[in-house]
Amino acid sequence: MRTHTALAFCCLSALALAAHQSSETPARFAPAFDMQGLDTQSGMQAQMASMSPGEHHELLGYFEGEWKVSMEMSSPMMPQKLTSKGEQSNEMILGGRFLQATGSIDMPGMGPSDSMMLMGFDTNANRYDLTMISTMNNATYRATGMPNQDGSAIIFYGPMDEPMLDFRQRTVRYTYRVIDENSYVVEIDDLAIGDPANERVLTLTHTRKDG
């Protein structure tokens, strides 16, 4: 009799413990938000806002058009600056959401270099995104940025590899600076150089063909 009573008590205790554990969801499996209390109307409005182009996308429209490009390249390893010229065509695509640029420039001693660039504004992340590819290498360069204080430029930061020096993931700054309605400049600074006087490695001056 005592054996049966002890066995029954153990079974009841185990069942009670299991029931208690099953009623407590571990914190790591807890829902991220309460679906029951979700405001579906405001949530849908936020979703629609994130899908639609806004004022930041309209500003990218400034860069649309056909451009003449003047390049100036410099480096602490180069005895003198190199210059060249090229062309670039910019257009807004996908319903005014992204700026697409295609261009070609003659690289001294290397021949023509073709490039493509995509710039957009991520409404959810509240930032500008930049993606670049070219025939100079097989890499895809990406950077993120925000406008400066006076709104005259968008400043991006992103990683870049340098095979010549065997450097990986060095930080590069890309500044898209508006000069006037018919010209803008792209300044590329290699921050790994560590000397502000010599960080500027590439300057691309864009002038409208019909300006």
SS3 labels along the chain: CHHHHHHHHHHHHHHHHHHHHHCCCCHHHCCCCCCCCCCHHHHHHHHHHHHCCCHHHHHHHHHCEEEEEEEEECCCCCCCCEEEEEEEEEEEECCCCEEEEEEEEEECCCEEEEEEEEEEEECCCCEEEEEEEECCCCCCEEEEEEECCCCCEEEEEEEEEECCCCEEEEEEEEEEEEEECCEEEEEEEEHHHCCCCCCEEEEEEEEECCC
Q: Which residues of 38-74 are buried (b: 16+ CB within 10 A; e: fewer)?
A: eeeeeeeeeeeeeeebeebbebbeebebebebebebb
The pLDDT of residue 27: 58
The pLDDT of residue 6: 46
Residue 138 has which token pair? 């097989």
Sign, Cα dihedral of 70, 83, 204, 142: positive
Mean pLDDT of the chain: 83
The pLDDT of residue 32: 59
The pLDDT of residue 168: 72
Count how many Cα atoms sit within 13 Å of the Cα of residue 174 in the half-sphere of its side chain: 20
The pLDDT of residue 33: 58
Highest mean pLDDT of the ranges 40-44, 116-120, 193-197: 116-120
- Report the C-alpha gap between 200 and 23 in whole angstroms: 62
- The predicted-structure confidence for 48-104, as pLDDT tens digits, reads as follows 777 888 899 999 999 999 999 999 988 766 667 889 999 999 999 999 999 999 999
The pLDDT of residue 7: 42
pTM comes to: 0.75
- The predicted-structure confidence for 113-143, as pLDDT tens digits, reads as follows 999 999 999 999 999 999 999 998 899 999 9
Query: Which residues, 6 or more positions from 34, have their beta carbon under 8 angstroms from its beta carbon?
Result: none
The pLDDT of residue 166: 66
Report the candidate in 158, 178, 182 with the shortest Cα–Cα distance to residue 170.
158
- Report the C-alpha gap between 203 and 61 in whole angstroms: 22
Which of 7-16, 103-112, 160-169 shows the lowest per-residue confidence on average (mean pLDDT)? 7-16
Confidence of residue 8 (pLDDT cuts 50, 70, 90): very low
Report the DSSP beta bridge partners of residue 132. 117, 141
